[in-house]
Structure 1
Amino acid sequence: MENPRIKLAIIGVGRMGITHNSIINSHPDVEITAIVETSPHILNLIKKYIKGINTYDDYHKLFENEKLDAVIICTPPTLHYAIAKEAAKNHIHVFSEKPFTTEKAKAEELAKIFEEQNLVNQVGYVNRFNDIFVTIKQYIQKGLIGEVLRFKSEMYSCTITNTEEGNTWRDSRKNGGGAVFEVASHAIDLVNYLIGKPDKVTGSCLKSVYSKHVEDAVNATFLYKNGISGTLNVNWSDESYRKPTNKIEIFGTQGKILADQHEIKIFMKRENAENNMRKGWNAIYITDIFRSVPFYVRGNEFTSQLYHFIECIQKQKMTTNCSFNDAVDTLDIIDAIFNDYELNGKF
């Protein structure tokens, strides 16, 4: 007998909600039964153009009226905690957009609840599903560039390029706004994924360029007990970047890796025939290594992460490649950056 289709709802239909809806709607084993959105205009458009979908303006009504297997949460981060907790009460699996919550204690609470109830939980740190970064992790694990000594994790975007009036959630850290939560979280999670969670954060600097109440640029230094060190450089007000770009530089005893979402450049001190690397510079492009997906929006990784979520539900695999616990680690480093800046970064 075939497995029944997974009944799923989307909560929040902004940019990411629309993206996730289009992707997950392509999955043959998923049925989107409901959508939650507070904007009357968007709800009216959904009712007009998408048939067979129940719509709600309040997530409480969703949980009261729908029998669901899973939800995808795409609301502003400050709402994630309450929605995910309500989902757990109804024994519903959750995919949440990053940064999961804005408070580490709440994130830890949710991680514990979902683990105790054996519910699949995943956070949208999409870099963990990008074929370039997956390949780099494999290279590091194989020791391709020897022992890792230092690194630099960067992310740039042109998200905020005009003076903010301070009346949107993006200009409120409490609501999950600011470059740290919105942009640096990706660069931090990428460090945790590739190198491991730092043991200490120091030298943190937060700089406002256009925003009134939050930072637009972030710099920090990460230190490890094993001697590795690295830097974080983030700016979401950089107009030289048309699209959000993650960059990683990793220096090892036997070589060096430079990469973004689309390309890897590797400098080798000596030839490595096993991995088809010559001495000197080598280049690998996303088109050389990408894993095909059945539906493409913005990048293969966006489809891969959602299909992974569904696969974990089907196989009752409770540990995903980016769990709530992984997101707790990222929030821990975010807290460390804020605390370090408050204590040591101001003059």
Structure 2
Amino acid sequence: MVNIALIGAGKMGLSHLSILGAHPDVKITGVCDTSKLVTDVLTRYSGFDCFSDYKKMISKTKPDAVFVAVPTKFHAPIIKDLLEQGIHVFAEKPFVLNAKEGLPLLELVKQKGLINQVGYHNKFVGTFQEVKKLILDKAIGEVYHFQAEAYGPVVIKKKQESWRSVASEGGGCLMDYTSHVVDLLNHLISPVEEVFSSLVKPVFSNQVDDAVYALLKLENKVTGVLSVNWSDDTYRKMSTSITILGTEGKIICDSSELKVYFKADTNRAGYSKGWTIKNVTDLTEEVDFYLRGEEYSAQVDHFVKCVEGKAENNINTFAMAFKTDQAIEMIREKSAV
């Protein structure tokens, strides 16, 4: 049994808490949030020990691991404190507010030999997992271009301010939406090496960006386009997709459907010349508990298994998330030129 505590019971924190609470190998030792309304409700209806001060919670409950789901500006000091105490950490994305904060954490987690993971759930989506296999096998030949996209209806009118609308706290489309797309791109093809040009622009927000567009070069020298907009109300919810062009074919993929085009006959099982379409339900492994999507339970289960020593800590590590933070900073810096 792995003893796990949670810091930050907002939207994602409560999502993680629900999944952890249903996990057969997890005991929730404590929940921390600064909102008395939240902790009062949890104390009354969940039976969890709730705290307003995470340090008191850690001291009293002594968890093996902690989920950190607070605004991004608080990530670095909290994660550092937990690592110094020898506690395994799962942090919500993005990893830290700026890449400079991440370097000492990478050194510390390596020194301590602790399990570390960041909440980029797309790597646990069946369609994207299949894309990774196709790319590794060079199934569509040499990749020469990509288009990575995400759209959704987060900010579609002038609205009241929250921490997500304040850049210094980790808000904005670049930090919130674009980080998901960049991290997926880093994973599927290669990490971002250079930003040729970028536009980081507000649409309805006063203090942060609502749309991000960029021309990128990856470490393997493949170039392509990034297009992200969270002020697009033609979408019911966030939609992340990637199009990859290769010398022998083409891939178009989102979280629900994978389309692969082969120019010639292929002996790859389940595929044929021309277009093959696969649904995420055909590519996704079952999970014990379903909430919002199998990928959310799968990422939590992976972290738990890593802590138990049953899985290798090689998905969404701090080091991988740090590369995403670096790319985000390059996009921001290039837009200011």
Q: TM-score, normalised by structure 1?
A: 0.94
Q: Secondary structure at the match of 1:273?
A: coil
The equivalent of 1:125 in structure 2 is 120
Kept after mapping to 2: 8 A contact 1:118/1:318: no
Q: What is the identity, as a one-letter code, of the residue corresponding to 1:76?
A: P
Deviation at 1:317, TM superposition (A): 5.8
Q: 1:69 aligned to 2:64?
A: yes
Pairing partner for 1:327 from 302, 321, 325 = 321
Question: What is the CA–CA distance in structure 2 between the aligned matches of 1:140 and 1:225, rounded to whole Å?
Answer: 15
4+ residue segments displaced more than 4 Å: none
Figure out how many residues of one structure are paired with residues of the other and give that number.
Answer: 337
The equivalent of 2:73 in structure 1 is 78
The equivalent of 1:309 in structure 2 is 303
| Structure 1 pair 318–121 and aligned structure 2 pair: CA distance change class (3 A) | farther
Q: Secondary structure at the match of 2:333?
A: helix
**Which segments of 5 or more consecutive residues in structure 2 lack a partner in the other structure?**
none
Kept after mapping to 2: 8 A contact 1:132/1:260: yes
Kept after mapping to 2: 8 A contact 1:266/1:282: yes
The equivalent of 2:4 in structure 1 is 8
Question: What is the CA–CA distance in structure 2 between the aligned matches of 1:45 and 1:224, rounded to whole Å?
Answer: 47
The equivalent of 1:140 in structure 2 is 135
Pairing partner for 1:149 from 132, 144, 149 = 144
The equivalent of 1:18 in structure 2 is 14
The equivalent of 1:54 in structure 2 is 49
Question: What is the CA–CA distance in structure 1 between the aligned matches of 2:326 and 2:53, rounded to whole Å?
Answer: 31
The equivalent of 2:291 in structure 1 is 297
Deviation at 1:320, TM superposition (A): 3.1
Q: 1:91 aligned to 2:123?
A: no
Q: Structure 1 stretch 318-327 or stretch 297-306: which is displaced more?
A: 318-327
Pairing partner for 1:213 from 173, 186, 207 = 207
Deviation at 1:124, TM superposition (A): 0.3
The equivalent of 1:176 in structure 2 is 170
Kept after mapping to 1: 8 A contact 2:244/2:251: yes
Deviation at 1:161, TM superposition (A): 1.4
Q: Secondary structure at the match of 2:237?
A: coil
Deviation at 1:24, TM superposition (A): 1.2
The equivalent of 1:249 in structure 2 is 243
| Structure 1 pair 35–325 and aligned structure 2 pair: CA distance change class (3 A) | same
Q: 1:240 aligned to 2:234?
A: yes
Pairing partner for 1:274 from 268, 273, 282 = 268
Q: What is the identity, as a one-letter code, of the residue corresponding to 1:112?
A: E
| Structure 1 pair 213–102 and aligned structure 2 pair: CA distance change class (3 A) | same
Q: What is the identity, as a one-letter code, of the residue corresponding to 1:158?
A: P
Q: CA RMSD in A?
A: 1.3
Question: What is the CA–CA distance in structure 2 between the aligned matches of 1:13 and 1:226, rounded to whole Å?
Answer: 40
The equivalent of 1:43 in structure 2 is 39
Question: What is the CA–CA distance in structure 2 between the aligned matches of 1:183 and 1:225, rounded to whole Å?
Answer: 22
Q: Structure 1 stretch 17-26 or stretch 218-227: which is displaced more?
A: 218-227
Question: What is the CA–CA distance in structure 1 between the aligned matches of 2:218 and 2:301, rounded to whole Å?
Answer: 34
The equivalent of 1:100 in structure 2 is 95
The equivalent of 1:283 in structure 2 is 277
Q: Secondary structure at the match of 1:274?
A: coil
